[in-house]
Structure 1
Amino acid sequence: MPVTAPARIGPYRVERLLGTGSFATVWLGHDPALDCPVAIKVLAENWSHDLRVRERFLDEARLLRRLAHERLVPVHAVGELPDGRPYAVLAWADGGSLRDRLARGPLPVSDAVALLDQIAAGVAVLHRHGVVHRDLTPGNILFRSRPRAGSGSGSGAGGEQVLVADLGLAKALAVSSGLTAPAGTPGYMAPEQDDPRAVVDTRADVFGLGRLALRLLGDAPADPVGPPPAGPPSAGPPPGHPGASPAPPPRLRDGVPAEVAAVLHRATALRPADRYPDAAAFRAALARAVAAASGGAHPDRPRPRVDRSPAPPQRTGRRFVTAGAGLLAFAALATTSGDAGPGRPGQPHAMTAVSGPITVTLPAGWRATGTGWAGQYGDDGDLEPALVISPDPGRWATDPRVPGAFVGLSPSLARRTTPQGYLAERPHADCVAAPVRRTRQGAADWVVAAFTCPSGRPLIVEAAGLAPGRAGLLYAQVVPPEGGGDGFVDALLGGVRLG
């Protein structure tokens, strides 16, 4: 179904659609104050009521605004539509994306190596500020005409700036919760990003840079699929394990210097410890390799390839989590029953809300509303059961002063992950994490992660557990009322029952 263009978004006139994704739509607009074109990124309607998705959307804009670097996409402003959806106003990348350019054919080797240097410089900016991008793909590398005011160090050939974009998966390294989020794009994400127990740091972006390089300089015309193979099934431990077999050298185009190929081989090592420590180290190694390879020879002059072995086969039987996948959306259609009670969750005679097999005892004055767990479908094709409860459910998603909670049950999630693994997909970038704790309440043994945040909602609690009898994974996101803490959260979790 085509997307209907709005006439205006805030004060900006909408010109045309630039693109759509799983979580946002991007429009080309006109800024009347600056008299220039802008890109307006709007959160998708089906995700608008999810606090996690809204927070991640706004985190990206805040992060880009805070860093304000010429190698990163500039953010002019943020706003909110009448329906409560946030939007971010970004500089328009009039030169399109690297994905667009590669679709027209391969770049000359010398141009590709120079571009790789510029991309690494942009990622190095993030690393200097303690941020890991975690989703470096051709679609996230943009080109913008250089401003007339000056060239700037972020400018590439042809009067363009090379910009790193789409930080929706980026996570401040300083935020340590003991949980990591397996997220990224298959073919570009590091092996450890698919392991909820692994630590994801700057070396994951080094792997992403190496895989971008393979797309720019490799023999294969299409995007790489999965990490380089670790050898035949009998080779031993899985990729990323200390005993795993090393990946074979990458297969590159004629004209790629052997010294550059060696840098890419190290960057795409399966073990993080075998890679360069960060993007700055990768960039320095690339520069040394180019200098060593030049020796008076032009980079495009044919040189021996490092390896002529068959191209890596497509990996199968492995679960990949695509960019942003697994983020919940919700709305819950609930019926209420019972008598009004004293107001603590779990107390006898309190009001209850029901969705499918889930029954939740409501705190005093709280209500339930919605239509099920948006984006989560059961084997029957119907939405999996969920509830949104709050003193004012309609305002909970948009007003940080309103407490509330989301409670959902998903058999499908229980088949693909664990409670701790599911919470690992939900880091809160600018918040301080309390130690993860476990508690037995009501229907499950819960894993609970609490985050104290400097803006917006001061406290957000994520909890997950396995329902009895393998009924599914129970998930709760709680914003307690002022003064509410672990006691309130535990009482609410204790009021979650399965019928």
Structure 2
Amino acid sequence: MDQPPRIGRYSLVRRVGAGGFATVWLARDEQLDAEVAVKILSENWVEDEDVRRRFLAEGRFLRKVDSLYVVGVHDIGEADDGRPFMVLTYADGGTLADRIKAGPLEYGEAVRIINQVGRGLKHLHARGVLHRDVKPANVLFRTDPNGDRAMLSDLGLGKSLAEVSRITMPGGTPAYVAPEQVMGERLDHRADLYSLGAVAYAAFTGQAPHGVVSLGAVMQIDAPPPSMTTLREDVPDAIDVVVRRALEPDRDKRWPDLDSFLNALREAHTTGKVPAGLVPAAAMPTPAATTAPVDQATALANANQSTVAVKPRRSRRAGVLTALAAVLLAAAGGYGGYQYVLTRPVKVEAGHLSVAVPRSWSQKAVDNDKALLVSTSTSGWQTNSDVEGVYLGEIAAQELPTAGAAPAGCSSSAPKNGVIGDQNTVTFVYTCGSAQVVDQYRQINPSTLLRVQVRESDPKQRQEVLDSAKYS
């Protein structure tokens, strides 16, 4: 029998959870007439001194923190059969994992929960403790008079910050653990920040970020996960950018601390804007001065913006990573370049402009809703003709051009005039090495042209992108 009917003054009511090392029971403190949770070491580990030591260390870590957002330890002892146990705050509202199983959370609710868990982590860190196993199953809820409150639990992998400043043994839950923790590197608070970002991703989408099931697979992660819009179309772009920055494999590219992440998440939710300072100002390039007319695509790729308003998403829109201007995505070495896991095209919109693109074209810039650039590398759009992407821009002009502007090093064919619906068009085709670039101008109205430039090595896909470009 794994469990006697009582331990000391605590009568056991029913089992509420079990893990690899311990079982948790709902119990009643008969002296205080109160419900508590009793966590007791499993029988098969009772002789393992290392496991016993870790079990008791968890109790000591929890006792260090007096926080509404961390499960409290009220008593500790040893059962008649020699197994250590802890008496914990009873969380009567289940776990975040249970709620996520039912589907993605409402945005305001997810933000509230992530902020509460973040506060718990801040309190742990302030007491010199790193959690190292933040995941939905370790976020419990306790009913309060005003609703419920999220609390962090299970510090079985917890370590003091003094210990993790040295090389540590790998550990953690694959779907939520930071890569540096798996690699046994020296850890700091950013390991827990990564895990909190992974929990946020799961709360917003209903799925863990990368879907990895082994620690070895975590070591292969070299980019943030796919945009959350690939799993839930209406995820606001600002929230998507904030969460995925927390999931940078390189910890130096993450938010510098929990406050930065939590403040940015709240701001993204309440204002719909990507918070200023997402990329350090020192990393921002200076736009080149010019006295000659500037090609609109060049101007767009060189745009210097620190905060970009994200318009409310239309219900039919399946967005890609959009909230930042191209320079922001490229300048920080990885905020763009996020790859998408699905192969179907996604529709990208800005003002009157829209186009369906491959999901690998995961960087976007918008200039006053009159120009749109979607590419694999917006920073390389003007300097490398091999970069795939599409540019759409409104041009104030009454006539179609008679000559094109071939990219440097590319040859051009004769222009081809045509008609799309009631719009007159002229199309220029440039050959750039083994690739071709299509540059089309459409007469939208007597005073406006639409320019569409597509770079794609596959002729079929190139034509599909060109045909999908619209001005509405």
Class of the TM-score when normalised by the shorter of the 2 chains: 0.5 to 0.7
- Residues in 1 aligned to 2:111 and 2:315: alpha-carbon distance in whole angstroms: 14
- Residues in 1 aligned to 2:316 and 2:119: alpha-carbon distance in whole angstroms: 27
- Residues in 2 aligned to 1:98 and 1:248: alpha-carbon distance in whole angstroms: 22
Out of 121, 129, 147, the residue aligned to residue 159 of structure 1 is 147
Aligned-partner SS, 2:272:
helix
Aligned-partner SS, 1:193:
helix
Out of 182, 187, 192, the residue aligned to residue 205 of structure 1 is 192
Q: Are 2:109 and 1:121 aligned?
A: no
Alpha carbons 1:136, 1:188 under 8 Å: kept:
yes
Q: Identify the residue that residue 490 of structure 1 maps to in structure 2.
A: none
Out of 190, 194, 197, the residue aligned to residue 178 of structure 2 is 190
- Residues in 2 aligned to 1:176 and 1:270: alpha-carbon distance in whole angstroms: 18
Q: Identify the residue that residue 424 of structure 1 maps to in structure 2.
A: none
Alpha carbons 1:17, 1:27 under 8 Å: kept:
yes
Q: In the comparison of the two structures, how many residue pairs are matched?
A: 288
Output the TM-score relative to the length of structure 1: 0.53
| Structure 1 residues 174 and 301: alpha-carbon distance in aligned structure 2, compared to 1, 3 A threshold | farther
TM-superposed CA distance for 1:114, in Å, is: 2.1
- Residues in 1 aligned to 2:188 and 2:38: alpha-carbon distance in whole angstroms: 30
Alpha carbons 2:95, 2:138 under 8 Å: kept:
yes
Please identify the structure whose Cα radius of gyration is greater.
2
Aligned-partner SS, 1:265:
helix
Q: Identify the residue that residue 212 of structure 2 maps to in structure 1.
A: 226
Q: Are 2:284 and 1:305 aligned?
A: no
Q: How high is the sequence identity, in percent, across the aligned residues? A: 40
Q: Are 2:240 and 1:261 aligned?
A: yes
- Residues in 1 aligned to 2:266 and 2:254: alpha-carbon distance in whole angstroms: 16
- Residues in 2 aligned to 1:110 and 1:25: alpha-carbon distance in whole angstroms: 33
Q: Identify the residue that residue 203 of structure 2 maps to in structure 1.
A: 216
Q: Are 2:138 and 1:174 aligned?
A: no
Aligned residue runs from structure 1 range 11-90, under 5 A: 11-90=9-88
- Residues in 2 aligned to 1:265 and 1:112: alpha-carbon distance in whole angstroms: 15
Aligned-partner SS, 2:120:
helix
- Residues in 1 aligned to 2:249 and 2:91: alpha-carbon distance in whole angstroms: 33
TM-superposed CA distance for 1:272, in Å, is: 1.0
- Residues in 2 aligned to 1:107 and 1:224: alpha-carbon distance in whole angstroms: 19
Aligned-partner SS, 1:175:
helix
Q: Are 2:322 and 1:292 aligned?
A: no
- Residues in 2 aligned to 1:255 and 1:278: alpha-carbon distance in whole angstroms: 27
Query: Residue type matched to 1:47 in 2?
Result: W
**Deviations 1:121-163 (Å, cap 9, x if unpaired)?**
22121122222111111110000012x6xxxxxxxxx521210
Query: Residue type matched to 1:33 in 2?
Result: Q
Where relative contact order (Cα < 8 A, 6+ residues apart) is larger, the structure is 1
Aligned residue runs from structure 1 range 314-353, under 5 A: none
Alpha carbons 1:109, 1:299 under 8 Å: kept:
no
TM-superposed CA distance for 1:176, in Å, is: 5.6
Query: Residue type matched to 1:215 in 2?
Result: A
| Structure 1 residues 248 and 107: alpha-carbon distance in aligned structure 2, compared to 1, 3 A threshold | closer
Alpha carbons 1:112, 1:217 under 8 Å: kept:
yes
Aligned residue runs from structure 1 range 98-497, under 5 A: 98-146=96-144, 159-175=147-163, 178-196=166-184, 198-218=185-205, 221=207, 224-226=210-212, 239=220, 249-250=227-228, 251-293=230-272, 305-307=319-321, 310-311=340-341
- Please, what is the CA RMSD of the aligned residues? 3.1
Alpha carbons 2:108, 2:269 under 8 Å: kept:
no
Output the TM-score relative to the length of structure 2: 0.55
| Structure 1 residues 272 and 239: alpha-carbon distance in aligned structure 2, compared to 1, 3 A threshold | farther
Aligned-partner SS, 1:123:
helix
| Structure 1 residues 298 and 75: alpha-carbon distance in aligned structure 2, compared to 1, 3 A threshold | farther
Alpha carbons 1:5, 1:17 under 8 Å: kept:
no
Alpha carbons 1:120, 1:282 under 8 Å: kept:
no
| Structure 1 residues 303 and 161: alpha-carbon distance in aligned structure 2, compared to 1, 3 A threshold | farther
| Structure 1 residues 140 and 261: alpha-carbon distance in aligned structure 2, compared to 1, 3 A threshold | same
Q: Identify the residue that residue 318 of structure 1 maps to in structure 2.
A: none
Alpha carbons 1:95, 1:142 under 8 Å: kept:
yes
- Residues in 2 aligned to 1:264 and 1:289: alpha-carbon distance in whole angstroms: 10
> What are the ranges of 5 or more consecutive residues in structure 1 without an aligned counterpart?
149-157, 228-232, 314-499
- Residues in 2 aligned to 1:311 and 1:174: alpha-carbon distance in whole angstroms: 39
| Structure 1 residues 301 and 143: alpha-carbon distance in aligned structure 2, compared to 1, 3 A threshold | farther
- Residues in 2 aligned to 1:257 and 1:30: alpha-carbon distance in whole angstroms: 45
**Deviations 1:298-325 (Å, cap 9, x if unpaired)?**
9998876334964389xxxxxxxxxxxx
- Residues in 2 aligned to 1:52 and 1:270: alpha-carbon distance in whole angstroms: 31
TM-superposed CA distance for 1:5, in Å, is: 4.4
TM-superposed CA distance for 1:104, in Å, is: 2.5
- Residues in 1 aligned to 2:39 and 2:313: alpha-carbon distance in whole angstroms: 39
| Structure 1 residues 222 and 180: alpha-carbon distance in aligned structure 2, compared to 1, 3 A threshold | closer
- Residues in 2 aligned to 1:245 and 1:91: alpha-carbon distance in whole angstroms: 38
- Residues in 2 aligned to 1:190 and 1:268: alpha-carbon distance in whole angstroms: 8
**Deviations 1:25-69 (Å, cap 9, x if unpaired)?**
111110012211111000111111222111111111111112121
- Residues in 2 aligned to 1:71 and 1:264: alpha-carbon distance in whole angstroms: 21
Q: Identify the residue that residue 428 of structure 1 maps to in structure 2.
A: none
- Residues in 1 aligned to 2:186 and 2:313: alpha-carbon distance in whole angstroms: 37
TM-superposed CA distance for 1:280, in Å, is: 2.3
TM-superposed CA distance for 1:246, in Å, is: 6.3
| Structure 1 residues 245 and 266: alpha-carbon distance in aligned structure 2, compared to 1, 3 A threshold | closer
Aligned-partner SS, 1:256:
coil
Query: Residue type matched to 1:175 in 2?
Result: E
- Residues in 2 aligned to 1:262 and 1:221: alpha-carbon distance in whole angstroms: 17
Alpha carbons 1:119, 1:164 under 8 Å: kept:
yes
- Residues in 1 aligned to 2:170 and 2:33: alpha-carbon distance in whole angstroms: 41
- Residues in 2 aligned to 1:74 and 1:277: alpha-carbon distance in whole angstroms: 28
Query: Residue type matched to 1:58 in 2?
Result: L
Aligned-partner SS, 1:174:
helix
- Residues in 2 aligned to 1:296 and 1:223: alpha-carbon distance in whole angstroms: 23
